[in-house]
Amino acid sequence: MSDIAVVTLSCDKNAWLWRAWHQSYRNNWPWSLDWPMYLVTEHATPELENVTAVQGGGGTWSQNTFKAVQQIPHKHLLIMLDDFWPHPHEVLTREVWLELYGLFQQYIPDRLAVLGVAPRCDSMPKAYGETVATIAGVPVEDMVPEETPWFAALQAAIWVKEDFLQIIVPTESCWDFEPTGGRRLAALGRRRFSWKCDWYEHTVMSGHLHVRHVETVRALGDEPPKVCQ
């Protein structure tokens, strides 16, 4: 069995989207992969098929995330936030995921900490160095930390768990973590690679759930908060 798991970071106030999030994985994830799936919560224990809920006990985002991720018994984690939902337009196959993970493992001895697997439309400031490989026709690029403010971005990425935990400080929100955690990661001399693919959708933008997903959530018996509609 591979020493990697899929980890979605959430909080109890977002319980209304868990069933829709789960449905997106059930329909658009290659379940033939032997990668266990975890959902980080604060205190809630949702029962979702093939998903293990891990409780961090609350506190700040960083405190809850640190305590929960510590409990996950895998060295490598595919980490993302709870409003990133796989969709059917570009489903990644088991073979592509295994090739990405194989490359990630190959470069860990050479200080690799993160392999981002984010959509092509990602508009965050960044800069790239050399192309280290090509997977499914798409280059895997070495990012330049000095010119990439979001070096620890929480877009979907495979992480070395120890590196992820090492750059968390207890007072930060997830929005604070991305730029300041990126500076800490760079100061440790770690590397981040980037591979682009539109395999998931960012469903909540500027605090609002995309209109086409509102009915999906309601059809499953949940109701988005008014502020998210």
> Can you read off the two tokens belonging to residue 21?
């999030």
Model confidence at 122, pLDDT cuts 50, 70, 90, reads low
Mean pLDDT of the 177-191 span: 93
What percent of the chain clears pLDDT 70, i.e. is strictly above it?
95
Q: Which helix (H) or strand (E) holds 211?
A: helix 211-219
Question: What confidence score (pLDDT) does residue 120 get?
Answer: 77
Write the DSSP symbol of residue 92.
Answer: P
Q: What is the pLDDT of residues 24-34, one digit of tens each?
A: 999 999 999 99
Q: What is the pLDDT of residues 96-120, one digit of tens each?
A: 999 999 999 999 999 999 999 988 7
Residue of 51, 52, 79, 75 whose CA lies nearest to 65: 79
Please name each of the domains of the chain with its CATH number.
Answer: 4-110+149-189+200-228 (3.90.550)
Give the span between the Cα atoms of 141 and 46, in whole angstroms.
Answer: 37
Q: What is the pLDDT of residues 65-89, one digit of tens each?
A: 999 999 999 999 999 999 999 988 8
